[in-house]
Homo-oligomer: A and B are copies of this chain.
Amino acid sequence: MAMILGLDIGGANTKAASSDGTLAQSIYLPLWQGAPLGEALQSWAELDPEAVAVVMTGELADCFPSKLAGAQSLISEVKKAFSCPISFWGTEGFRWADPRDLAGANWSASATFLCREMGDGIFADMGSTTTDLIPIAGRPLAGKTDYQRLARGELVYTGMLRTTLVSLLPAATIRGESIPLSAELFAIAADAYLALGDISEDGYSCATPDGRGRSRKEALSRLARSVCSDLEEIGEEAALAIAAQAREHQLRRIVSALHRLSAKHGLAGVMAAGVGEMVVARAAALAGLSCRRLSQVYGREISNVLPAYAVARLLESQRESR
């Protein structure tokens, strides 16, 4: 059966979804390490889609000398893989002039789709690496570039998995003492969430910082190393304290971003999506906002790859309206 395929090409993960919701897939493909994006695109091309809709954020990966070069490279990779019609979504929709208009625009597809489907609110998509917080009031109101969105608190550079621990938690409190964390890439958010039981080993879908496994013991060891220690040296309780405090700091950061946007735009409802949907829902409750979890509307798999699904749905509508 003919289908519309949506793709969301990120720096760390590339996601695919079909407009009918039967396909929803996320593959860890770290572009800055030269991951085989072409092969993944090829495998989706073999599903023989009728048309492909694409959003991207991967142009920011530092394997590309500039965002323009990154966007051009990703456009060309997609064109190489698919023979069907391809539409790229930028911050102004499917019509764009400069490849830079496509840079970091995946949130825009999700927000445009949700604005139509669900109306006003703060769309909050917490992924492996970043959290998009997009005010929607009649239309998506976010800044057009990543830089503008950082400044406005609409792009919070913190995620469920890849975020380095020291950027979540500059110092941990252990047995009454404040211990500044090492600035090395010794542990990440995924280690904290796995140790706390919030995600499974399967949910730890990015590379581990030390190349070792995803067991609870290995995650706890990485947490201990973040304060320059072995696990035996500080003990499991202390490693768990680091994890709990990192989770708490991240939560508070999202609460305060929600507060700021809710006050600015007079919005009282949140639409939560992404692998960190649960964290967003907790943050919304703490911020005194109502929350709809998009996994309960579209299913968990779609919530995790929402921009890919949204851009497929947007293309489908456009084709139907012609």
A binding-site residues for B, Cβ under 8 Å: 32, 60, 62-63, 65-68, 104, 129, 145-147, 150-151, 155-158, 163-164, 166-167, 170, 177-186, 209-210, 212, 221-222, 225, 227-230, 232-234
Give every chain B residue within 8 A of A164 (Cβ-Cβ).
Answer: 164, 183
Give every chain B residue within 8 A of A230 (Cβ-Cβ).
Answer: 66-68
Contact B147 A60 (CB under 8 A): no
Give every chain B residue within 8 A of A67 (Cβ-Cβ).
Answer: 230, 233
Number of copies of this protein chain within its complex: 2
- CB-defined A-B contacts under 8 Å, sample of 19: A60-B228, A62-B186, A62-B210, A62-B222, A65-B221, A66-B230, A145-B229, A145-B233, A146-B229, A147-B227, A151-B177, A151-B178, A151-B179, A155-B228, A157-B183, A164-B183, A167-B167, A167-B183, A170-B170
Give every chain B residue within 8 A of A63 (Cβ-Cβ).
Answer: 210
Q: Which residue of B lies closest to A182 (CB)?
A: B157
Q: Once bound together, how far apart are the Cα atoms of A243 and B147, in whole Å? A: 17
Best-buried of A32, A65, A157, A209 by chain B (most CB within 10 Å): A157
Give every chain B residue within 8 A of A163 (Cβ-Cβ).
Answer: 183
Q: Once bound together, how far apart are the Cα atoms of A182 and B164, in whole Å? A: 11
Q: Once bound together, how far apart are the Cα atoms of A63 and B212, in whole Å? A: 9
A-B interface, 5 closest residue pairs, ranked by CB to CB distance from nearest: A146-B228, A62-B210, A167-B183, A147-B229, A151-B177
Give every chain B residue within 8 A of A182 (Cβ-Cβ).
Answer: 150, 157
- Extra contacts, 4 of them, besides A32-B210, A146-B228, A167-B183 (Cβ < 8 A), are A60-B225, A62-B186, A150-B179, A150-B180
Give every chain B residue within 8 A of A146 (Cβ-Cβ).
Answer: 228-229
Q: Once bound together, how far apart are the Cα atoms of A145 and B177, in whole Å? A: 15
Give every chain B residue within 8 A of A228 (Cβ-Cβ).
Answer: 60, 104, 145-147, 150, 155, 157
Q: Once bound together, how far apart are the Cα atoms of A158 and B234, in whole Å? A: 22
Give every chain B residue within 8 A of A229 (Cβ-Cβ).
Answer: 145-147
Q: Once bound together, how far apart are the Cα atoms of A185 and B61, in whole Å? A: 10
Q: Which residue of B lies closest to A229 (CB)?
A: B147
Q: Which residue of B lies closest to A12 (CB)?
A: B184
- A68-B230, A233-B145 known; A157 vs B181 contact (CB < 8 Å): yes
Give which listed residue, B167, B177, B212, B233, contacts A166 with CB less than 8 A.
B167
